[in-house]
């Protein structure tokens, strides 16, 4: 039995001063209100109301019970108002999961820009390395890459993580660029732990090419520094080497074949979205505009203030 059963009728009787008026305000019968009050008094073990033919008054226990129930009702109304704010305007906490496999640097810059526009939102960012870590946490939004496995979460595609083939100018001057994916054996390749590079193919599938090299890391930052030092060719997200490409510390191959575009998804729980979550997802969609990034289109992605 609900602990609140009969309380709404009790509060209405006290507010309106009679069973008849309370019943009219609630849209129920007088007999129903009377039954609810009787059941409530039986449950709490005390008489709450004194009824006479002329007037209705609270007993001493009734005054205490009314005071507490009225306070709880006001708290409920306030809670509903505050929850409603989450649906009407961007406020509250927003917990975001970012993959740190290739560095969360650029995504963090986007989140910071979003936060500057929405100071009433409390931002929490958690960087994760493996998908298994995501299910152990509770997020409002998780950024995921590539094809999604079956999940209870909803997802919105908002852009692409576009990988380019890049290296230091000194390395290219000494070695040139590969003419095709079959020429990587003569290059020192800086890769993740798979020892592979990936490319878009003509049928919109992913081509995987095993390459050789003396530097492997699951960190995009580590691979970026190795490439800057002139150690070899790296395949890195254009977004995390945009500054190096702009200032000439790295150069990217301009042919189309070496690019690899991974879908970027905003994943979130099903059901009504709080305004903060909705605003963040819309901001991401507006920032990426579903573009596949190339070094010559970086101005489409660089966030304001970067």
Please give the average per-residue pLDDT across 270-296, as a whole number: 82
Please give the average per-residue pLDDT across 267-273, as a whole number: 85
The residue among 42, 58, 88 that closes a domain is 88
Same domain (yes/no): 207, 284: yes
Q: Is residue 1 part of a domain?
A: no
Q: Is residue 186 part of a domain?
A: yes
As a whole number of Å, the end-to-end CA separation of the chain is: 58
Q: What CATH number should be reported for the domain holding residue 53?
A: 1.10.10.10
Range of the domain at 49: 7-88
Same domain (yes/no): 111, 260: yes
Q: What CATH number should be reported for the domain holding residue 306?
A: 3.40.190.290
Same domain (yes/no): 150, 293: yes
Angle at 202 between CA 200 and CA 204, to 5 degrees: 60
The residue among 88, 112, 135 that closes a domain is 88
Same domain (yes/no): 60, 164: no
pTM to 2 decimal places: 0.65
Same domain (yes/no): 80, 118: no
pLDDT tens digits, 71-89: 888 888 777 766 665 566 7
Same domain (yes/no): 84, 230: no
Same domain (yes/no): 105, 70: no
Same domain (yes/no): 232, 106: yes
Same domain (yes/no): 215, 275: yes
Q: Of all helices (H) and strands (E), which one includes residue 211?
A: none
Same domain (yes/no): 70, 130: no
pLDDT tens digits, 130-157: 766 666 568 899 998 888 876 677 899 9
The residue among 45, 61, 88 that closes a domain is 88
Q: Is residue 26 part of a domain?
A: yes
Q: Is the pLDDT of residue 305 over 50?
A: no
- DSSP code, position 228: H
Same domain (yes/no): 119, 252: yes
Residue ranges of E strands in the chain: 49-51, 56-58, 92-99, 121-128, 141-145, 154-167, 189-191, 196-200, 206-210, 215-216, 233-237, 251-252, 260-268
Looking at residue 94, its pLDDT comes to 92
Same domain (yes/no): 69, 131: no
Structural domain total, the chain: 2
């Amino acid at each position: 039995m609900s602990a609140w059963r009969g309380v709404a009728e009790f509060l209405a009787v006290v507010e309106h001063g009679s069973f008849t008026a309370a019943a009219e305000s609630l849209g129920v019968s007088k007999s129903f209100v009377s039954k609810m009050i009787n059941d409530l008094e039986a449950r709490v073990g005390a008489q709450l109301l004194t009824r006479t033919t002329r007037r209705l008054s609270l007993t001493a226990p009734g005054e205490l019970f009314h005071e507490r129930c009225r306070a709880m009702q006001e708290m409920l109304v306030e809670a509903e108002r505050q929850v409603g704010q989450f649906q009407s305007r961007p406020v509250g906490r927003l917990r975001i999961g970012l993959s740190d496999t290739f560095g969360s640097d650029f995504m963090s810059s986007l989140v910071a820009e979003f936060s500057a526009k929405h100071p009433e939102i409390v931002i929490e960012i958690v960087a994760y390395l493996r998908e298994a870590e995501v299910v152990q946490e509770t997020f409002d939004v998780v950024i995921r890459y590539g094809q999604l496995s079956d999940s209870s979460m909803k997802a919105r595609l908002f852009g692409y993580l576009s990988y380019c083939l890049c290296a230091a100018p000194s390395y290219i001057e000494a070695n040139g660029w590969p003419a095709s994916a079959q020429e990587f054996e003569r290059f020192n390749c800086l890769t993740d732990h798979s020892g592979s590079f990936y490319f878009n193919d003509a049928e919109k599938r992913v081509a995987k090419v095993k390459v050789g090299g003396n530097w492997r890391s699951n960190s995009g930052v580590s691979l970026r520094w190795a490439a800057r030092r002139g150690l070899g060719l790296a395949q890195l997200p254009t977004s995390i080497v945009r500054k190096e490409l702009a200032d000439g510390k790295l150069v990217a191959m301009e042919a189309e074949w070496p690019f690899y575009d991974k879908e970027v998804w905003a994943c979130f729980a099903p059901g009504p979205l709080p305004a903060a979550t909705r605003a963040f997802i819309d901001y991401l969609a507006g920032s990426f505009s579903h573009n596949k990034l190339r070094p010559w289109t970086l101005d489409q992605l660089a966030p304001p203030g970067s």
